[in-house]
C-alpha cells in the first residue's frame, strides 16, 4: 500500500512538469484525466488531507489553465445565465462543442482563470496552512467575493411610489452540491437583512401602494415576515410557469410565485373588464438565471395604469419608460 501511495505522488510530480509546459487544450484534458484517476486512488487508499490537497492543487491549476485557454480561444464561450463576462473572439471562431465542454463547465473554468494570480496563490497557501480541504467550490467563492467587492448600493430614489416591484436576493440555507449555489452568482440577503430593509421600503411606499414581491417556493414560509416588515398586508398571488426544467429538492421546480401585497387602497385601478383579461398564471419560457420575464412590466402597468412605478433589486439593463430602477446591478 505504501508503494502504491508513493507511486501516485511520483506520478503527480510528472504531471507538474508537464503542466509547466505550454500545453494544448487536449493535453490539458489528458493531464486532468490523469489527476482525476490519481484522486480516485487516493480516496481508496485513504491518503492524508495533505496528500489529497496536493492532488487537488494540481487539478485546480490544470483547470485554471484550461479556463485561460478557453477564454483566449473559444468564441462565445461561457454561460449566458451567469454574471461572468464572456469573450467574443472572432479571430478564434472555435466553439465549446468542438472541445467537448459544456457551457456550465466553461463558465466554472473561466471564473477560476479570472482570479488574479496573487489571490489564487494566497488562497492555495491559506487553505493548506489551515489544514482545510482544497476545492473548486472554495475557488468559486473567492471569485464571487472578488467580483462582488467592487459593488456599491446606490442611493435610494426620491419620492413616493404607488407600485413597488421587487425581486430580492433571497439567501438559501442548503449547500446541496448538485444545485448551483446562488451565493456564487450574486450577493444574497438573509431573512433578517430583508426585514431590516423594510425601513427603507416604508419611506418609498405611498399611502396607497401595491407591492409585487417575487418569492421562490422554498422561501414561502419566510415571506410573511418580510411583507409585514415592509409595511404591507397579503392580498393574493400570481404564478409564473417557466416552461423549463429547474433543479429542486422535491422535483423539478417549474414555477415561481409573485406575492401581491397592499398598503392603504391597493386594488387595481384599471377598467374591470381589462382586469379580468389578466391571467394569474403566466406561461413564459425562462431565460437567464434569476431573470424575470419583461411581460410582467406590461401586466403591472395594465392593472395599475399611470402610476409611479419602482423596481427594487433591479438587474435591468434597458430602462423602461415611466419606471424608476434601484439596485447594485442597475445600469
Same domain, 140 and 7: yes
Q: With CA atoms as reference, report the closest residue to 34 among 18, 50, 53, 51.
A: 18
Instruction: State which of 87, 121, 149 marks the end of a domain.
Output: 149
Could you please report the per-residue DSSP string of 207-274? EEEEEEEEE-GGGTTTHHHHHHHTT-EEEEEEEEE--S----BTB---EEEEEEEEESS-S--S-HHH
Task: Work out the number of other CB atoms within 10 angstroms of the CB of residue 283.
Answer: 13
Residue 154 included in any domain: no
Residue 155 lies in a domain: no
pLDDT digits (tens, 9 = 90+) for 31-57: 888 888 888 888 788 888 888 888 899
Question: How high is the pLDDT of residue 16?
Answer: 64
- Can you give the pLDDT at residue 96? 82
Q: Are residues 131 and 165 in the same domain?
A: no
Say if 69 falls within a structural domain. Answer: yes
Q: Could you tell me whether strands 205-215 and 255-263 are parallel, antiparallel, or unpaired per DSSP bridges?
A: antiparallel
Looking at the DSSP bridge assignments, the partners of residue 259 are: 213, 237
pLDDT tens, residue by residue, 245-270: 777 778 888 899 999 999 999 999 99
CATH number of the domain within which 262 lies? 3.40.50.150
Report if residue 123 sits inside a domain: yes
pLDDT of residue 1: 47
195 and 56 share one domain: no
User: Is 96 in the same domain as 191?
Assistant: no
- Residue-range definition of the domain harbouring residue 17: 2-149
Q: Are residues 306 and 239 part of one domain?
A: yes
Q: How far apart are CA 241 and CA 238, in angstroms?
A: 10
pLDDT for residue 289: 65
Mean pLDDT by 10 residues, the chain (331 residues): 48 64 81 86 84 89 92 60 42 72 89 93 92 90 78 85 95 55 64 94 97 93 95 97 81 91 96 95 84 93 97 84 86 56
One domain for residues 182 and 58:
no
Distance CA 261, CA 212 (A): 7
pLDDT at 306: 95
Domain count, the chain: 2
Are residue 139 and residue 176 in the same domain, yes or no?
no
3-class secondary structure for 258-318?
EEEEEECCCCCCCCHHHHCCCCCEEECCCCCCCCCCCHHHHHHHHHCCCCCEEEECCCCCC
Q: Is residue 331 in a domain?
A: no
The answer as to whether 113 is a domain residue is yes
Q: Are residues 169 and 87 in the same domain?
A: no
Q: Are 191 and 222 in contact (CB under 8 A)?
A: yes
Is residue 275 in some structural domain?
A: yes
Q: Are residues 207 and 287 in the same domain?
A: yes
User: Residue holding cell 413597488?
Assistant: 164
Look at residues 69, 61, 68, 64 and name the one whose alpha carbon lies nearest to residue 16. 61
Distance CA 159, CA 326 (A): 13
| Domain match, 145 and 182 both | no
Query: Which pLDDT score is estimated for 252?
Result: 81
Q: In this predicted structure, what is the pLDDT of residue 89?
A: 44
Asked whether residue 201 falls in the same domain as residue 318, the answer is yes
Domain boundary among 100, 123, 149: 149
Length of the chain counted residue by residue: 331
- Residue at which a domain ends, from 124, 149, 174: 149
Least Cα distance to 162 among 323, 326, 328, 275 occurs for 323
CA angle in degrees (0–180, nearest 5) for 85-89-92: 140
C-alpha cell at 192: 433578517
In three-state secondary structure terms, 188 is coil
Does residue 238 share a domain with residue 140?
no
Q: What is the pLDDT of residue 83?
A: 40
Amino acid at each position: 500500500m505504501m508503494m502504491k501511495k508513493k507511486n501516485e505522488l511520483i506520478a503527480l510530480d510528472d504531471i507538474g512538469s508537464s503542466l509547466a509546459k505550454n500545453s494544448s487544450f487536449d493535453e490539458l484534458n489528458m493531464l486532468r484525466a490523469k489527476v482525476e484517476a490519481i484522486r480516485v486512488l487516493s480516496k481508496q487508499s485513504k491518503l492524508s488531507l495533505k496528500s489529497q490537497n496536493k492532488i487537488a492543487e494540481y487539478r485546480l491549476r490544470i483547470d485554471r489553465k484550461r479556463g485561460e485557454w478557453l477564454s483566449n480561444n473559444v468564441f462565445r464561450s461561457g454561460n449566458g445565465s451567469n454574471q461572468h463576462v464572456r469573450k467574443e473572439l472572432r479571430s478564434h471562431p472555435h466553439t465549446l462543442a468542438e472541445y467537448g465542454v459544456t457551457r456550465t463547465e466553461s463558465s466554472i473554468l473561466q471564473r477560476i482563470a479570472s482570479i488574479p494570480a496573487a489571490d489564487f496563490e494566497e488562497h492555495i497557501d491559506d487553505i493548506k496552512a489551515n489544514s482545510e480541504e482544497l476545492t473548486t467550490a472554495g475557488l468559486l467563492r473567492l471569485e464571487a467575493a472578488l467580483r462582488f467587492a467592487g459593488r456599491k448600493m446606490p442611493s435610494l430614489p426620491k419620492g413616493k411610489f404607488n407600485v413597488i416591484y421587487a425581486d430580492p436576493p433571497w439567501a438559501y440555507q442548503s449547500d446541496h452540491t448538485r444545485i448551483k449555489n446562488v451565493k456564487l452568482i450574486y450577493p444574497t440577503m438573509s431573512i433578517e437583512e430583508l426585514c431590516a430593509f423594510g425601513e427603507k421600503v416604508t419611506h418609498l411606499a405611498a399611502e396607497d401602494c401595491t407591492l409585487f414581491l417575487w418569492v421562490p417556493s422554498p422561501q414561502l414560509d419566510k415571506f410573511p415576515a418580510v411583507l409585514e416588515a415592509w409595511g404591507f398586508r397579503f392580498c393574493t398571488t400570481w404564478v409564473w410557469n417557466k416552461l423549463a426544467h429547474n433543479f429542486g429538492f422535491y422535483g423539478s421546480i417549474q414555477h415561481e410565485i409573485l406575492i401581491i401585497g397592499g398598503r392603504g387602497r391597493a386594488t387595481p385601478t384599471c377598467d374591470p373588464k381589462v382586469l379580468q383579461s389578466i391571467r394569474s398564471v403566466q406561461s413564459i419560457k425562462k431565460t437567464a438565471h434569476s431573470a424575470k420575464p419583461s411581460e410582467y412590466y406590461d401586466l403591472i402597468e395594465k392593472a395599475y395604469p399611470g402610476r409611479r412605478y419602482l423596481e427594487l433589486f433591479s438587474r435591468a439593463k434597458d430602462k423602461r419608460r415611466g419606471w424608476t430602477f434601484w439596485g447594485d446591478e442597475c445600469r
